[in-house]
Chain A
Amino acid sequence: MSSGFSTSAARNMFFGGTVFFLLVFLALTYDTEQALPKRDNRAAIAANPQIAAGKKIWENNNCIGCHTLFGEGAYFAPELGNVYKRRGPEFIKAWIKSQPTGTPGRRQMPDFHLSDAELDEIVAFLKYASEINTANWPPNIEG
């Protein structure tokens, strides 16, 4: 570091830069919140209480511990953000009910003992997720 540049100048640059970019970030956050209603399919949540209930089931069984949802989560099992479009509601319910497969050496999904009503709720949640505008991600139906 050149001697013309003092520690206090560096400190001021740090505080000034941080505050400035935090404010820009807050402004972008505000703008994002304004833009979200057109993209995030929130009307569906208000119309169908099964979606919020399905999200709780998703969380309470730690689905994200193996799967990804919009590419976030663990990379051990398939992407589920678009699974509703890939497989359809009946396949999803039958699949969850038939777990674990018990095939030797294959990855296993636990039996979560979901009731029929809960299966409908998780499907409602996955349908809602598949209708969010994710800028055309994933690249194809396989996720």
Chain B
Amino acid sequence: MQYKSQAVAKPYFIAAIGLFVAQILFGLVMGLQYVVGDFLFPHIPFNVARMVHTNALIVWLLMGFMGSAYYLVPEESERELHSPKLAIIMFWVFLVAAALTVLGYLMVPYATLAKITGNELLPTMGREFLEQPTITKIGIVVVALAFLFNISMTFLKGRKTSITTVLLIGLWGLAIFFLFSFINPDNLVRDKFYWWFVVHLWVEGVWELILGALLAFVLIKVTGVDREVIEKWLYVIITLSLITGIIGTGHHFYWIGTPEYWQWWGSIFSALEPIPFFAMTLFAFNMVNRRRREHPNRAATLWALGTGVMAFLGAGVWGFLHTLAPVNYYTHGTQITAAHGHMAFYGAYVMVVITMISYAMPLMRGRVANSKSAQTMEMWSFWLMTVAMVFITLFLTAAGILQVWLQRMGDTPLGFMAAQDQVALFYWLREITGVIFLIGLLTYIASFFKGGETEKA
């Protein structure tokens, strides 16, 4: 760690991992409810568990992005952070707001939460992933603006690199597109249309810039390859991401009441979306193969390579699987979508945040890298979580294919619940693999407490 203020990243990373645990626990509750329908009912109905599962994911990834930016920007800018104090205050504001929101989900019925938070003044609640009370959304905007101010001031006063430029465009885009969450017209089609301006233009748009910048930063550090080479790759990858991903938004506009030409625009452009992810895989492996140093943090290198591969599989291949309109006509809104969502989020965003934590956390703890035994444990957690996620995805895909066949094809289609009963075996297998994922996550956390000999940073 070259600058003292980079240490503000630490509480962000710790809170991110804590929320990750909550996300997985509630995921296991939901997974069980898929087969034991009345599990924990009426205390934690499925929709409540799902809100905690998805919102915890979003918040911990945002925590991870912020922590990563607080670590990365001072180092790239070659100066201290503009205001470490503001960063710490915003950390607590964000954490308390997230905790209160989750408590609200768990303690009172959702309709009561809507009422006590004054949702009728500016109704934004009750839409997938944007379930947070309006006041929480306003809180997110405030935290994001304070964060962006802090990071941008640091950027403006210091050395400007391609990595920080790309990262800042990504982070500003994240904040700007979130503003569409305040648009909620009575017209359902327009509501859905602009909802995707947040959801799609985040995960298949600006978040890919953040992903690329973080990966490029870690690759420079662990491989020692020339910055010039890595930055060129970064620009090529994010160019491909945005020229495919922006119009690729159209693959969500096939069946929501929008004009049918979106079936062409969406199919063609989103079919190209795997290309930038494939480029990212090539990028990660190429840089590691051309490395000019043997960085002692082998775990961080493994996570970086894993990000390339799993983002390509989850976002690229599993996205392509159901993105063409004639295919999507049958698969839309089935377990195929769930399969893709799980591996894409894990492979792209979970793994890149862990890559960054894996690289930066030892340095913030005053060592170049963790001890050999701690790294071995961390690499075990990598394989446990990654292989578990591959199988979760495969089982959900199998469930989805059967669901499509039983419910949407043939002359005597089954009703929704009848079809669900037929695929229960795959939900059980998914739940078991989910437990293995949790074991992997606990192993990951344990690796932070594994001692052993380390070299001082």
CB < 8 Å neighbour of A36 from B229, B258, B329: B258
B110 within 8 A of A: yes
The A1-60 residues at the B interface (CB cut-off 8 A) are 1, 5-7, 10-11, 13-14, 17-18, 20-22, 24-25, 28, 31-33, 35-36, 39-42, 45, 51-52, 55-56, 58-60
Taking CB atoms and an 8 Å cut-off, the chain B residues in 415-434 that contact chain A are 415-417, 419
Chain B residues bordering chain A, tally (CB within 8 A): 79
> Would you call B445 an interface residue if the criterion is a C-beta within 8 Å of the partner chain's C-beta atoms?
no
- List A110-135 residues whose CB lies under 8 Å from chain B: 110, 112, 128-129, 132-135
Q: Is A96 part of the contact surface with B, judged by Cβ < 8 Å?
A: no
Question: Which B residues lie within 8 Å of A66 (CB)?
Answer: 45-47, 50
Q: Is A91 an interface residue (CB 8 A)?
A: no
The answer to whether A28 touches B265 (Cβ under 8 A) is yes
Instruction: Report A75 CB to chain B, min CB distance, Å.
Output: 6
Residue of A at shortest CB range from B325?
A: A135
Q: Is A76 engaged at the interface, CB distance under 8 Å to the other chain? A: yes
Judged by a CB distance under 8 angstroms, whether B254 is at the interface is yes
- Residues of chain A with a CB closer than 8 A to B48's CB: 62, 65
Question: How far is B45's CA from A61's CA once the two chains are assembled, in angstroms?
Answer: 12
Q: Closest Cβ of chain A: how far from B419's Cβ, in Å? A: 8
Contact assessment for B329 and A137 in the assembled complex, using a CB-CB cutoff below 8 Å:
yes
Residues of A within 8 A of B45 (CB): 66, 108, 110
Cβ of B110 and Cβ of A74 under 8 Å apart?
Answer: no
| B265 contact set on A, CB distance < 8 A | 28
Partner of A142, one of B36, B236, B259, B415: B415
Q: A14 CA to B170 CA in the complex, in Å?
A: 13
User: Quick check: A42 and B42 within 8 Å, CB to CB?
Assistant: no
Q: How far is the CA of A41 from the CA of B128 in the complex (A)?
A: 22
CA distance A11 to B237 in the complex (A): 11
Given known contacts A45-B186, A64-B126, A142-B416, A76 and B46 CB-to-CB distance under 8 angstroms: yes
Complex Cα–Cα for A65 and B115 (A): 18
Please give, as numbers and ranges, the residues of chain B lying within 8 Å of A52 by CB-CB distance: 186
Bound CA–CA A68/B333 (angstroms): 7
B250 CB → nearest A CB, Å: 8
The reply on B249 being an interface residue by CB < 8 A is yes
Specify which chain A residues have a CB less than 8 angstroms from the CB of B330 in the assembled complex: 139
Residue in chain A with minimal CB distance to B165: A11
Task: Evaluate contact between A18 and B247: CB separation under 8 angstroms.
Answer: no
Assembly CA distance A66 to B184 (angstroms)? 20
Q: Would A64 and B127 count as touching, CB distance under 8 A? A: yes
* Interface pair A18/B46, CB less than 8 Å apart: no
Contact A58-B126, Cβ < 8 Å, known A40-B257, A108-B45, A137-B329: yes
Complex Cα gap A4–B150 (Å): 37
Q: Binary interface profile of B, 14-48, with partner A (CB < 8 Å = 1, else 0)?
A: 00000000000000001001101110011001111
Chain B residues closer than 8 Å to A63, beta-carbon distance: 47, 126
Q: Considering the complex, which residues of chain B in the window 181-196 have a beta carbon less than 8 Å from any beta carbon of chain A?
A: 184, 186-190, 192-193
Contact between chains at B188 and A72 (CB < 8 Å): no
**Chain A CB within 8 A of B320 CB:** no
Query: Within residues 294 to 339 of chain B, which ones have a CB less than 8 A from any CB in chain A?
Result: 329-330, 332-335, 337-338
Report if B381 contacts A (CB, 8 A): no
A17-B243, A71-B332, A142-B414 known; A64-B128 Cβ under 8 A: yes
Contact assessment for A21 and B242 in the assembled complex, using a CB-CB cutoff below 8 Å: yes
**A18 to B64 CA separation, bound complex (whole angstroms):** 26
- Return the chain A residue nearest B332 by Cβ: A71
A25 with B416: CB separation less than 8 A: no
Residue B238 lies at the interface, judged by CB distance under 8 Å to chain A: yes
Taking a contact as CB atoms under 8 Å apart, the answer to whether A1 and B236 are in contact is yes
Point out the residue from A39, A45, A76 that lies within 8 Å of B257, measured CB to CB.
Answer: A39
**With an 8 A cutoff between CB atoms, is B255 at the interface?**
yes
Q: Known contacts A17-B239, A72-B333; is A108 also within 8 Å of B258 by CB?
A: no
Determine whether the beta carbon of A107 is less than 8 Å from that of B417: yes
Q: Are B255 and A71 in contact, CB atoms less than 8 angstroms apart? A: yes
Q: List 24 A-B contacts (CB under 8 A).
A: A13-B236, A18-B246, A21-B246, A21-B247, A35-B259, A36-B189, A36-B257, A36-B258, A39-B257, A58-B126, A62-B125, A64-B126, A65-B128, A66-B45, A72-B333, A74-B46, A77-B416, A100-B41, A112-B109, A112-B111, A132-B188, A132-B257, A133-B257, A140-B408
User: Across chains A and B, which 3 residue pairs bring their CB atoms closest together, nearest first?
Assistant: A65-B47, A59-B126, A71-B333
In addition to A13-B236, A51-B186, 5 A-B residue pairs with Cβ atoms within 8 Å of each other are A13-B235, A25-B246, A70-B192, A139-B408, A140-B413
Could you list which residues of chain B lie within 8 angstroms of chain A, going by C-beta atoms?
A: 30, 33-34, 36-38, 41-42, 45-48, 50-51, 109-111, 114-115, 119-120, 123, 125-128, 131, 162, 184, 186-190, 192-193, 228-229, 231-233, 235-236, 238-239, 242-243, 246-247, 249-250, 253-260, 262-263, 265, 329-330, 332-335, 337-338, 407-409, 413-417, 419
